[in-house]
Structure 1
């Protein structure tokens, strides 16, 4: 998600700042010590988040003129995020500082526009695409129960084979407390996120048929009992080529690529800033570490 979004925490500030009238004298807060006017609020917010807010607003206006990201595109991306994260979606929203799904959508749209602008500069070869396809892992929906030792893992498997519900055993036995709350659900594993998991875990999960329960699988975290509840089929290369090209280009995309693309788009649009306090808002900025 980081790759789509350059300013995860700015959406609220942008909306609030753009809603203020710079010359308004309307009183928006009263007290015995004095009133706060709309103009005072605007100036205070401009000082705190003005550069970033103006940058985001200009980016969206400039990019929307040249590139197309529809509400349907954003909804599809949200749908994929929900599928990937499963029951952890709401937790992820909170982690990234979003108040709601709608809050995410506005920032996500800008991120997708930036991605379109930057991706046209990324080149890929046929060999890269075919290598990616050869190593491609189709989506699987996975749940697990993690325990400390093999003896406990074997006991867990016996409980499941005796007819106990997977989600009930996970809640009772699993040391992975986050997934345990959701019946062991890890959401969807696919080519994009498989590297986040232990290699032995991935190998075991992809070796299972739908609804089969694994033998104990040892990883650095302990012993897992794994079940795959859904498994997609790997499509022929020609049917997947467009998707693969997007994935490979996306994997190459860096914050530097996005910054360069935005410099180009701003220059092409001949953007001029009349507010002297915000004259540096569109100057290239070094992205925060880790993004």
Structure 2
């Protein structure tokens, strides 16, 4: 499920689980308890909100468990990641502490704006869920199985935006330009998100084996090499219902929604050249790239992506170089 506001992939994985207990409609006393570690229970970590000093804040086991519950909701590979890392629990706890420190730096004015964004974002999610009853049931079941409510998830979105806002403050335009240039130098299509292509799909199935599908695809490719009209041949042979009646064409399509093998071919094929049959999970494609413009740094969508990459870098830098000045103790129970 996509998150409408400030949708930065690292944060979906990293902050999925931040749960502001007091923001679920409690009174001021509850809010104060949350700010000081989430209420009663065994402390699994202690930290301060100022470097090398200040009042000690405790993270309870209950609070950390809620973090993990939200993490599981947003990360389908949570269990696999946990199994592969001996320090997974400790790393997760450090991430939580880091985000709570960032939260403490938010002004009242910033919080008001971020809360508005979180409300708007969840309203969009709710609209999407209400349009698909099956998806809505799956989402509600996922929340329930992890002991979470919709209101708590909304608070996670608030905290997600909160952390991004604090990390973005130190990003300069020069840093963004440098990041863009380095990525483009390593991969000219690093920031390409859309392209216009035409293709003819030949599928295998009940009436045609894979070998027969390949043979037919090669015959169609030969017709194109002999001067055949791509649009006409697409209408005659293509078995992609989404494009065959449009000459096999997709205009300014999101390349990140495509099959990985199809996407790879589109990125590697010279513009205007017709490919040999390309195999994907759907069958064999004959592809022509009609347009593939690399977006410039001035493109607003590119700047959002670049900013997201720098936010991730800055968070990892905070974990590696700054967190130790705030973190006093970690005391996770032995398994």
TM-score range, shorter chain: 0.3 to 0.5
TM-score of the pair, normalised by structure 2: 0.39
